[in-house]
Amino acid sequence: MSEKDNQKVYFGDKKVSKDIKKDGVEEIFTKVSDNYDLMNDMMSVGMHRLWKRSFIDTANIQKNHVCLDLAAGTGDIAKLIAQKVSKKSIYLCDQNKEMIEKAKERSLNEGFFNKCHFEVSSAEKLPFKDEQFDHVFISFGFRNFSDKSQSLLEIKRVLKKAGVLHILEFSKVENKTFSKIYDFYSYNFIPLMGQAISGDKKSYDYLVKSIRTHENQEDMLKLFNKAGFKDNNYENMFNGIVSLHRGRKCP
């Protein structure tokens, strides 16, 4: 293992090896998979639906585009993309097989299965050929990656020239007073909600801590720049609770 591979990364508020983070994240998403959709609605008071809708509506997806929904979870993003493309051109990829199974089942129940392909794989080593995608979307997955820089290089490899990476993620709240209210809500209520709904306080404790130790808006831009993306930019939603970063693969 090289020195770089040995570097520690945040898992919640603790620094651990990349391998330990990967296993920890796997364990958490396996545990939360059954109640994942309900918890998203409860924690964000339904706001995540609006953020995701805006994420996809502003992405300039054309009917013939090929799209990767990376860290796809239960398929919220793929379902929205399916309304924009005309072919079987959506690839859902997640390292957690329980989540991908949920996405598959949902796509069958909700009528978008025929536009989807499903892969269980981690973002750090994507099972796709070079220059396959017009867009790569990551919604609330990036902060969980055990090697963010490596995943960006992989994403760049699988994007077509001029293809776009879109990342929707929790970020840093700008207003100080709002930030205090948000902290109070998330540290005190989200783990309790997790306990009440899924009997699992610990995973939701991780969720709150992982948001605080994730890169802020400007540091995310630096990661994009370092990986060689161009025209990098971001916009905040809800005062920065969430931010949307975009970057283009250089033609």
Ligand X SMILES: C[S@@+](CC[C@H](N)C(=O)[O-])C[C@H]1O[C@@H](n2cnc3c(N)ncnc32)[C@H](O)[C@@H]1O
What DSSP designation does 83 have? T
The label of the residue with tokens 């990986």 reads: 227
The label of the residue with tokens 């630096």 reads: 222
Q: Does 118 bind ligand X (CB under 6 A)?
A: no
> Judged by CB, which is closer to ligand X: 56, or 173?
56
**Residues from 25 through 44 that contact ligand X (CB under 6 A):** 25, 29
> CB burial class (10 A; 0-12, 13-18, 19+) of residue 217?
middle
**Residues from 168 through 197 that contact ligand X (CB under 6 A):** none
> Judged by CB, which is closer to ligand X: 92, or 230?
92
Least Å from the CB of residue 41 to ligand X: 11
> Judged by CB, which is closer to ligand X: 89, or 144?
144
What DSSP designation does 174 have? S
Of 145, 170, 204, 234, the residue at the interface with ligand X (CB under 6 A) is 145
> Judged by CB, which is closer to ligand X: 55, or 234?
55
Which residue in the shown chain puts its C-beta closest to ligand X?
73
Q: For residue 234, give the 3-state DSSP assignment.
A: strand
Give the tokens for residue 167.
């990342």
Least Å from the CB of residue 176 to ligand X: 27
Give the tokens for residue 229.
């993306």
Give the x/- contact pattern for ligand X in 44-83, rule: CB under 6 A: ---------------------------xxx--xx------
Pairing of strands 14-17, 8-11: antiparallel
The one-letter amino acid code at 235 reads E
> Judged by CB, which is closer to ligand X: 180, or 237?
237
Total residues belonging to the chain: 251
**Residues from 86 through 105 that contact ligand X (CB under 6 A):** 94-96, 99
DSSP letters spanning 85-131:
-SSS-EEEEES-HHHHHHHHHHHHHTT-GGGEEEEE--TTS-SS-TT
> Judged by CB, which is closer to ligand X: 96, or 198?
96
> Judged by CB, which is closer to ligand X: 71, or 90?
71
The interface region with ligand X, picked from 107-115, 117-125, 157-165, 193-201 by CB under 6 A, is 117-125
Task: Outline where DSSP puts E strands in the chain.
Answer: 8-11, 14-17, 67-70, 90-94, 116-120, 133-139, 159-170, 229-237, 242-249
Do residues 74 and 103 lie in contact, with contact meaning Cβ atoms separated by under 8 Å? yes
The interface region with ligand X, picked from 58-66, 83-91, 134-142, 183-191 by CB under 6 A, is 134-142
Count of chain residues binding ligand X (CB under 6 A): 20
The interface region with ligand X, picked from 120-128, 197-205, 225-233, 237-245 by CB under 6 A, is 120-128
The one-letter amino acid code at 159 reads L
For ligand X, the binding residues (CB under 6 A) are 25, 29, 71-73, 76-77, 94-96, 99, 122-124, 139-141, 144-146
